[in-house]
Amino acid sequence: MPTTAPSCAIVIFGASGDLAKLKLIPAIYEMARERLLNEHSYVVGFARSKMSEDDFRKECNDAIRLNARSKKAIDEGLLKSVLNRIHYFQGDDYGSAEAHQKLSEFLTTCDAKYGNAEKNRLFYLSTPPNAFEPIITRLGERAKDPDNNPPARFKRLIIEKPFGTDLASAKHLNAVIHKYFDEEQVFRIDHYLGKETVQNLMVMRFANSIFEPIWNYKYIDHVQITVSEIVSADDRAGYYDNSGALRDMVQNHIFQLMALVAMEPPAALDAVSIRDEKTKVYRSIRPIRPEQVDVFTVRGQYGAGTHGKVTTNGYTQAKGVKPGSGTETFAALKLFIDNWRWSGMPFYIRTGKLLEQKLSEVVVRFRSPPQTLFQKQCESPVYPNDLVIRIAPEEGISWRLNGKVPGGAMNIKPVALDFNYKTAFKVEAPEAYERLIYDAMVGDQTLFIRGDEAEAAWAVIDPIELGWRGSKKPPEPYAPGSWGPKRAMDLIEHDGRRWMQAKEGESEPIVACSL
Ligand code: BG6
């Protein structure tokens, strides 16, 4: 059982934003419920919006009631005590020395009030990315100045994504950070790493002996990773139009999934060893040069339409999108990892907004059995085995094997051996942010991105972005509710393979054999 974290001041920059309401404040309440939050810890929300402390607490109250994992059984007494330890600090500018001076004085008062004796600080940067540098600089200057710097057991930064927009900006941000802080103080977040199934990927691979011998190009035909969403980007266009699917989802979440699938066994289960291995994966990805983007990548943009509860006039019509924007709301890539384990074996990845369903999964498709026995007599090829690692909607792992359909005829049908998190363990997994904030409090960096790791991931993305920006072809349109542009199908089908989910409502056929 994890133990209560050390006490600290949790300072959330960007506290009036969506992330704080949707995830951070509810996570802090849940940590208190699980007794992981120290009773001497407190929260200070720092933002530019003019708001009274009462109003901020009211927002937090609503946020917890609406978004907390245990929202159906709120503990009123606990909620009250958590809200009483939440404060609001308004500053006109994230980089203002005066605001930071006042914040620091405020924290000193709160330390005394709540008994945060070690004066520990956890600074959570949940602002638009252009505020990262001024905040880090101000915090860093103060941290370096002994007069303004009461000794503390720890002063740590949690930095939200996006960490840079390309290799150069990530390097610059790392340089700014390292001017003032050691890497041990920095926690770059990727909330996918806080998800149970993602962590289970490591357990599955390295705590079971059946996988390692076959976990390579000799037995695996290919790996496909799909992270599809049903939401649009219409209401986040201000951010999204400067980002796009490749930077928003591939450089971080999808690459993390890919690295955990592809990495070598780490020397130990610690932050250094695991992050070393993930970084090696990024460095081994065969670069897609700008002139190769038409062969190895597909980008798409949703048009007008309705899917589920979402109606859109098309991405380019959304408020905040530049006229004629070429920003992709869908991206698919075919990648190779040039090392001994994965030599010549493709990884297909795709992600997009307003797709057919909300799904995050890794499919490891094994090679078909040799062309003997059933293969000869069956009407169509016997289906290959799949290992499906599902992160959403239902976290779990499923093996797809071929089984005989009962009866006199030799009919074969793929069947699934399912492991579902909820039914297997009968406990509710913590939300990613609960796990990650706790880890930052106890100083465990395993589930956070290291500086060089972020840079290695950007190094793969940059030439693709360059190729796309230099291309005369606009992103290919796709209809809301589809699986993306047609070329995304071609990308994999030209290789004689197919996406696990390709058409609505499709199921695997029964394979009939005459024996
Ligand atoms: C965020 C992206 O990091 O992840 C969003 O910025 C995306 O665009 C979200 O919607 C998806 O997260 P999840 O946990 O819902 O898969």
pLDDT of residue 333: 98
Kindly state whether residue 39 falls inside one of the protein's structural domains.
Answer: yes
Average pLDDT rounded to a whole number, residues 251-266:
97
Who contacts 343 (Cβ-Cβ below 8 Å, separation ≥6)?
Answer: 217
- Domain span holding position 116: 9-160
In this structure, the answer to whether residues 238 and 310 fall within a common structural domain is yes
508 and 413 Cβ atoms separated by less than 8 Å: yes
Q: What residues pair up with 312 in beta bridges, in sequence order?
A: 305
Percent of the chain whose predicted confidence (pLDDT) is above 90: 83
Q: Of 160, 185, 220, which residue constitutes the final position of a domain?
A: 160
Q: Is 229 in the pocket of ligand 1 (CB under 6 A)?
A: yes
CATH number at residue 288: 3.30.360.10
- For this structure, is 494 an active site residue? no
- Lookup: tokens for 298: 């597909």
End-to-end CA distance of the chain: 55
How many domains in the chain? 2
In this structure, the answer to whether residues 140 and 211 fall within a common structural domain is no
pLDDT of residue 115: 96
Q: Is 445 in the pocket of ligand 1 (CB under 6 A)?
A: no
- Decide if pLDDT at 507 tops 70: no
- Decide if pLDDT at 107 tops 70: yes
Kindly state whether residue 507 falls inside one of the protein's structural domains.
Answer: yes
Average pLDDT rounded to a whole number, residues 373-386:
78
CATH number at residue 130: 3.40.50.720
512 and 379 Cβ atoms separated by less than 8 Å: yes
pLDDT of residue 504: 58
Q: Does the global pTM surpass 0.85?
A: yes
Q: Is 243 in the pocket of ligand 1 (CB under 6 A)?
A: no
In this structure, the answer to whether residues 104 and 59 fall within a common structural domain is yes
User: Which of 253, 354, 360 is the best mutation target for the ligand 1 pocket, counting ligand atoms within 8 Å of the beta carbon and taking the most?
Assistant: 253
Average pLDDT rounded to a whole number, residues 302-327:
96
Is residue 389 helix, strand or coil?
strand
In this structure, the answer to whether residues 97 and 205 fall within a common structural domain is no
In this structure, the answer to whether residues 156 and 197 fall within a common structural domain is no
pLDDT of residue 378: 77
Kindly state whether residue 171 falls inside one of the protein's structural domains.
Answer: no
In this structure, the answer to whether residues 381 and 480 fall within a common structural domain is yes
Average pLDDT rounded to a whole number, residues 337-356:
98
pLDDT of residue 73: 96
Residue 337 Cα to ligand 1 midpoint, Å, equals 25
Residue 10 Cα to ligand 1 midpoint, Å, equals 23
pLDDT, tens digit (0-9, with 9 covering 90-100), for 420-474: 888 888 888 899 999 999 999 999 999 999 999 999 999 999 999 999 999 989 9
In this structure, the answer to whether residues 354 and 419 fall within a common structural domain is yes
Q: For the chain, give the mean pLDDT.
A: 94
Q: What residues pair up with 336 in beta bridges, in sequence order?
A: 346
CA 187 from chain centre, in angstroms, equals 14
In this structure, the answer to whether residues 55 and 204 fall within a common structural domain is no
Residue 65 Cα to ligand 1 midpoint, Å, equals 22
Average pLDDT rounded to a whole number, residues 316-325:
95
Ligand 1, atom 7, residue with closest C-alpha:
249
Helix axes 25-33, 432-442, angle to 10 degrees: 70
Most confident of 208-212, 295-299, 396-400: 295-299
Q: Of 160, 178, 201, which residue constitutes the final position of a domain?
A: 160
314 and 234 Cβ atoms separated by less than 8 Å: no
Average pLDDT rounded to a whole number, residues 373-382:
73
Q: In angstroms, rounded to a whole number, what is the distance separating the alpha carbons of residues 147 and 105?
A: 12
Residue 138 Cα to ligand 1 midpoint, Å, equals 29
In this structure, the answer to whether residues 134 and 208 fall within a common structural domain is no
Q: Is 360 in the pocket of ligand 1 (CB under 6 A)?
A: yes
Q: What is the DSSP letter of 183?
A: G
pLDDT of residue 506: 59
Helix axes 25-33, 53-67, angle to 10 degrees: 70
Q: Of 160, 185, 201, which residue constitutes the final position of a domain?
A: 160
